[in-house]
């Protein structure tokens, strides 16, 4: 995906999260949305149910696939998983930055092979706030922990990240224009927050430097998913037409 400094269409900034328990429901939504977006996210729920089949189905239909598996294991295992995913056609793959420098370095080496997906280091989940971090022994604020993990990822060969909307501007400044910043926790004005705690509107996230917005329930659970997706795309378009800050 091009850097944030390059002008893309609104649809190139939207990844619809296919958080479904089976292929039938996932493909039904894809068919309904048509070519509204360029990206689909396949997370653990759907991948564990459908495996590589769903990734290849989406790839064969011309979509880019964000495979959100949040790999976190010993270095050899994660590197082997990255090599396996390279056969599916997925464009992006997540690993947990909390897996450590050795794990991320091994994954980065595996991702240097032809056909491998671009790696994204997951920093702090959008469902976590300062209280949740403290419960697992991390006294730093979410923003400080995100920056610490991002710097660790950079020294390990990974310069693209998943972060909440609250940290986008900070990471864009620190990681530079070529970093891919993938941002969940996107909630259009008036929508329910669900289990997300660090959220923002599409307009705010894009203005702060987000590359790709991941949107699930505001689209997938909407009475009219097509209308909901178009509404989000309108917000994105307004934001990308504004001059880029900095």
CA dist 215 and 148 (Å) reads 26
Residue 1 lies in a domain: no
Place of tokens 């037409």: 241
Interval 88-100: pLDDT, tens: 999 999 999 999 9
Number of domains the chain contains: 1
CATH of the domain at 149: 3.20.20.70
Is 70 marked active-site?
yes
Tell me whether residue 216 is in a domain.
yes
Which candidate, 178, 217, 194, places its Cα nearest to that of 41?
217
d(CA 44, CA 125): 15
pLDDT per residue over 127-162, tens digit each?
Answer: 888 888 889 888 888 889 999 999 999 999 999 999
Tell me the C-alpha to C-alpha distance, in Å, between residue 240 and each of 10, 95, 162.
8, 28, 20
Is 48's pLDDT higher than 50?
yes
Bridge-based pairing state of the strands 161-162 and 14-17: unpaired
Q: Does residue 180 sit within a domain?
A: yes
Name the nearest CA neighbour of 143 among 173, 118, 119, 120.
173
pTM assigned to the model: 0.88
Assigned domain for 181 exists? yes
> Which one, of 147, 4, 81, lies nearest residue 67 by Cα?
81
Asked, for residue 111, whether it belongs to a domain, the answer is: yes
Please tell me which residue in 41, 70, 151, 204 is annotated as part of the active site: 70
Would you say residue 7 has pLDDT above 60? no
- Asked whether residue 84 is assigned to any structural domain, the reply reads yes
Q: CA 159 to CA 17: how far, in whole Å?
A: 23
- Three-state SS at 154: helix
Q: Is residue 245 part of a domain?
A: no
Q: Is residue 246 part of a domain?
A: no
What are the tens digits of pLDDT across the range 8-26? Answer: 789 999 999 999 999 999 9
Based on DSSP, count helices (H) and strands (E) in the chain, helices before strands: 11, 8
Length of the chain: 246
Q: What gap in Å lies between CA 61 and CA 54, rounded to an integer? A: 11
Task: List the domain range (segments joined by +) for residue 68.
Answer: 10-240
């Amino acid at each position: 995906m091009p850097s944030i400094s390059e002008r893309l269409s609104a649809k190139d900034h939207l990844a619809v999260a296919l958080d479904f328990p089976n292929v039938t429901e996932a493909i039904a939504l894809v068919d309904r949305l048509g070519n509204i977006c360029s990206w689909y996210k396949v997370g653990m729920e759907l991948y564990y149910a459908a495996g590589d089949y769903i990734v290849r189905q989406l790839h064969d239909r011309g979509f880019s696939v964000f495979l959100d598996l949040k790999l976190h294991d010993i270095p050899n295992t994660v590197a082997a998983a990255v090599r396996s995913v390279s056969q599916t056609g997925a464009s992006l793959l997540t690993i947990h930055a909390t897996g450590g420098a050795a794990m991320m370095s091994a994954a980065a080496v595996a991702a240097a092979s032809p056909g491998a997906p671009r790696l994204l280091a997951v920093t702090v989940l959008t469902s976590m706030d300062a209280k949740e971090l403290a419960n697992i022994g991390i006294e730093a604020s979410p923003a400080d922990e995100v920056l610490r993990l991002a710097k660790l990822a950079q020294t390990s060969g990974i310069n693209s990240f998943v972060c909440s909307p609250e940290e986008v501007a900070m990471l864009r400044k620190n990681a530079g224009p070529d970093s891919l910043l993938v941002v969940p926790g996107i909630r259009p004005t008036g929508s329910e927050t669900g289990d997300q705690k660090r959220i923002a509107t599409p307009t705010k996230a894009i203005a702060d430097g987000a590359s790709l917005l991941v949107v699930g329930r505001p689209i997938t659970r909407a009475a009219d998913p097509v209308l909901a997706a178009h509404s989000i795309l309108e917000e994105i378009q307004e934001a990308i037409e504004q001059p880029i800050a900095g």
